[in-house]
Structure 1
Amino acid sequence: MPQIEQLSEVLSSQVFWLLVFFGLTFLVVGLGMVPKVMGTVDLRDRQIADDLAAAQAARDAADSEEEAWRKRENENRAAAQAVIAEAKAKAAKASETKLAKAQAKLDKQLAEAEAGIDAARASAMAEIEGVAADAARDIVARIAGTEVESAAAEAAVKEVMAHG
């Protein structure tokens, strides 16, 4: 077969050109394109690392800001609670003062009312004694048919009321 006989003559030439083509391809790709691709990959890796570092720094800054804010918020809350407690204490003291004044006024009115009641009681007792003395004189006059002096009837009524 002529194709097979020809193969031995062309084979060395084809292998030579194959090695030349792959060598040139290796030089172009290996020395020209690969370093550019690797440079791009390295640049991308550095950019990602820088972005991660910046994100972590931002997170740390945000955490410290949040902690400072919480501290200020707690201080403000404590100050507000102190103001509220002070206001409550002032209000309680003012209420206590008003209640004391009102109680004193009520005590005075009660004392005046008790004095009025005592005076009315004394007056009523005096009237009752007078009416009782008159009734005793009338009863003695009707039953016994004798007249009793007013002073004696009043003395007898006073004595009975003192015991009773």
Structure 2
Amino acid sequence: MPQIAQLAETYASQIFWMLLFFGLVFFVVGRGMVPKVMATVEARDSQIAADLAAAGAARTQADAEEEAWRVQSNAQRAQAQALIAAAKAKAATATEKSLAKAQDKIDAQLAEAEARIGAAKDKGLAEVAGIASDAASQIVTRLTGAAIDAKLADKAVKEALSA
């Protein structure tokens, strides 16, 4: 076979060119391109780490601001509740005073009405007693024909009404 016979002649040449090619690839890729790629990867990693650190700091600051806002909101809510409670207490006091004045006025009107009713009752009883006394005198006069003294008739009517 002629191809095998040529192998010994071309073997050294192929090894030379293979070493030259792989050496060239090693120096171009290994020494030229890989350091640039590695530098880019390291720069990207450091940028990502810096961005994560900045995001963490921003998150911490946002949490602190949120907490401050919550504290301020709670303080304002408490202050508003205190104002509402004070307004309710003031309104209750004003209502109590108004109700007390109205109650005093009603009590005065009630006492006045009771006094008028008592006076009317006494006047009515006096009139009833007078009418009853006159009626008793007239009844006795008609039945017996004798006239009765008005004082005696008044005394008899008072005894009958008190019993």
Deviations 1:33-92 (A, max 9, x none): 000000000011111111111111111111111111111111001000000000000000
State the AA in 1 paired with 2:145: G
Unaligned runs of 5+ residues in structure 1 are none
2:9 matched residue in structure 1: 9
Unaligned runs of 5+ residues in structure 2 are none
2:133 matched residue in structure 1: 133
Deviates more, 1:137-146 or 1:94-103: 137-146
2:120 matched residue in structure 1: 120
CA distance in 1, matches of 2:155, 2:146: 17
1:82 matched residue in structure 2: 82
CA distance in 2, matches of 1:46, 1:31: 23
TM-score by length of 2: 0.97
How far apart are residue 159 of structure 1 and its match?
Answer: 2.0
TM-score by length of 1: 0.97
How far apart are residue 148 of structure 1 and its match?
Answer: 0.4
Number of paired residues? Answer: 163
Task: Compute the RMSD of aligned alpha carbons.
Answer: 0.8
2:145 matched residue in structure 1: 145
Q: Secondary structure at the match of 1:115?
A: helix
Moved over 4 A (4+): none
Question: Identity over the aligned pairs, expressed in percent?
Answer: 61
How far apart are residue 155 of structure 1 and its match?
Answer: 1.6
